[in-house]
A and B are shown apart, each in its own frame.
Chain A
Amino acid sequence: MLDKADQIFILLKNWVVSFLPAALQAPAGVVLGVVGILAIFPTLFAIAVLMERKGLGRMQNRIGPNRVGPFGVLQPIADAIKSLTKEDIVPLTADRPVHFLAPVLLVVVSFMGFAVLPVGRNMVLVDMDASLLFYFAMGTSTELSIFMAGWSSRNKYSLLGAMRGVAQMISYEVPMLLSSVVIVMMTGSLSLVKIVEAQNHYTWGLPHWYIFTPWGLAAFVMYAIAATAETNRSPFDLPEGESELVAGYFTEYSGFKFALFFLGEYLGMLSISGLGTTLFLGGWSAPLASLQWVPSWIWFFAKIMLSITVMIWVRGTLPRLRQDQLMNFAWKFVLPMTLLNLMVAAVWRFMGEGWLRWVVCSAILVVVYAGAGLFEMRRKHYGARSYRYAE
């Protein structure tokens, strides 16, 4: 019975497919999987937007949306109707085909990432050997769509937003990849399915998730920072800083195209949380051995929504960084720390079993982290400001 609940979507798919002739069964299965992804993740997007608006409101001592439906739960539907019925304005001087393609590409690419994420036990659309590589290739393509949007709008704010976006995303791509490489080193596989399976063991009822190791925790923190920057979330939302750039690269978008950008952004958040969950939080595995009877996909989605909640929490807390702070942070702090983490992971690997490797690895990471905090990130004193002309 519980096994059936765990595999319910697979069984459902097999049952639907069994009505078709044998030659069509395999493609129909894939199509059904795609339909599932196309249905579930936009629903999660709606829930995430509502959570964000309500949660941010509460963090700022406001109520948030509460007019549409009981407690405002139907607000996403109202938003969707509003976006769909708004006029679609394209600037006269815009590069029309590129302007049209940018949001479409963003959404398509964001959906592609979900193809390789193991959503539950046996629930992965494409189980390829290099799925992590595929995921990063797809995730990087969002930069292209952002630059297309900024360039084709023929608006200085759009272009500046796109430049910032691309610079930021390329900078943070590096630490994100390097923090994931640690996992690949430990698992010995690029396949996300294998990575989850490697974490799905229990000692004393506790899971072997990678976040519960010194190098895993460090990599997770670096990954979380880089992922926040990758998805242009606060405090790294410079590309759309409304105080200086109107709305950044999607300034010239309205109506449904704007909604597509919005959707793409949240799909990016969901998929990057999904990857983080898979890499560090054990994917679909239960947090306690005694909870393994709960269907695996529930754990996966619960972990994703938890990550989204943390992202919202961080957004409600931190102000936006300045461009130089952003770049300094990426290249002078996060990147060296991920490189160090690679060494630490190697140390962990070659020290063998035992408590000593816990102490050594933790000590290295904590000392370097504290030292970097003291010396590298300290406040710089430039002295009194001097004016040459404006006396």
Chain B
Amino acid sequence: MLGEGILRGLAETSRNFAGSFVSKERLTTVEYPEQRIPTAEAARVFPFLVYDGPDWHAGLRCVACQICEKECPPKCIFIEKSKDKKPDYVGKMQIYPAKFDIDISVCMSCQICVEVCPFEAIKMDTVFELSTDDRFGGLLLDTQQLAKSNEYYHTIHPTEAGEVDARLAEEKAKTEAKAKAAAEAAAAKAAAAASAPPAATASAPTPNIATQPKPAEGGE
């Protein structure tokens, strides 16, 4: 009969109306500032720099190779290389960024910097509440603002961070094995020489091996 559909529709909306007061499934609204849903693991907003260990400056994985700066499509990364060097996670002496700034008002969150980084130093963050009343200075993040610990990386992207750690550990083990082999070879050479002067050459690689595990501890 005419009007039947209207009555059925009215019944449906009244069911919605009453149901929204009793059923959690119907009323799916998340009242954002008070209620939050955790961000998805694959969520990405802007990049940050990963550091190992307690000191952000000493543990920064970035070696200022500037690949990300060159690859960045909107050119929002600004890097200045340091004059001196510091040891990286395997203990090799590397340049570090004296200045590493990202202008997040320019950044388009494409993740290309993350993909090109050979040192697992730059990763995507999930922080999205970045509004500021200073749209120039407030949105230009400096090195200290960008530096975030590996533990933090583990909390926001646990799977990815685990993979990265495994890869770094493998690389470190490879380097260590190589260093060990080199040291053994050197020691064997020294032993083969079997004379007084080799003692000095044999002592040279030893401190290198000894220092290796130390900075690496933070990385695991």
- List A residues at the B interface (Cβ < 8 Å): 55, 58-63, 66, 313-314, 316-318, 369-370, 372-374, 377
Contact = CB atoms under 8 A, between A and B. Distances in A.
Contact of A317 (B2, B3, B10, B19): B10
Nearest to B12: A317
B9 A59 contact: no
Interface in B22-68: 26-29, 31
Contacts of B203: none
B13 A316 contact: yes
Contact of B2 (A61, A314, A318, A369): A369
B136 to A, nearest CB: 28
Interface of B: 1-3, 6, 9-10, 12-14, 16-17, 19-21, 26-29, 31
Contacts of A373: 1-3
27 contacts: A55-B17, A58-B16, A58-B21, A59-B14, A59-B16, A59-B17, A60-B16, A61-B16, A61-B19, A62-B27, A63-B27, A63-B31, A313-B10, A313-B13, A313-B14, A314-B10, A317-B9, A317-B12, A317-B13, A318-B6, A369-B1, A369-B2, A370-B1, A373-B1, A373-B3, A374-B2, A377-B2
B2 A59 contact: no
Contact of A370 (B2, B12, B21): B2
A183 B63 CA distance: 90
A55 B21 CA distance: 11
Given A373-B1, A373-B2, A61 B20 contact: yes
Nearest to B18: A58
A63 B16 CA distance: 12
Contacts of A66: 31
Contacts of A370: 1-2
A61 B3 contact: no
A59 B15 CA distance: 8
A47 B155 CA distance: 48
Contacts of B27: 61-63
B10 A58 contact: no
Contacts of A61: 16, 19-20, 26-28
Contacts of B1: 369-370, 373
B79 to A, nearest CB: 44
B214 to A, nearest CB: 54
Given A317-B6, A318-B6, A370-B1, A62 B12 contact: no
B204 to A, nearest CB: 70
Nearest to A377: B2
A313 B10 CA distance: 7
A222 to B, nearest CB: 12
Given A373-B1, A373-B2, A59 B31 contact: no
A55 B6 CA distance: 18
A369 B2 CA distance: 8
A377 B113 CA distance: 63
B37 to A, nearest CB: 16
Contacts of B10: 313-314, 317
B29 A63 contact: yes
Contacts of A55: 17
A316 to B, nearest CB: 5
A318 B20 contact: no
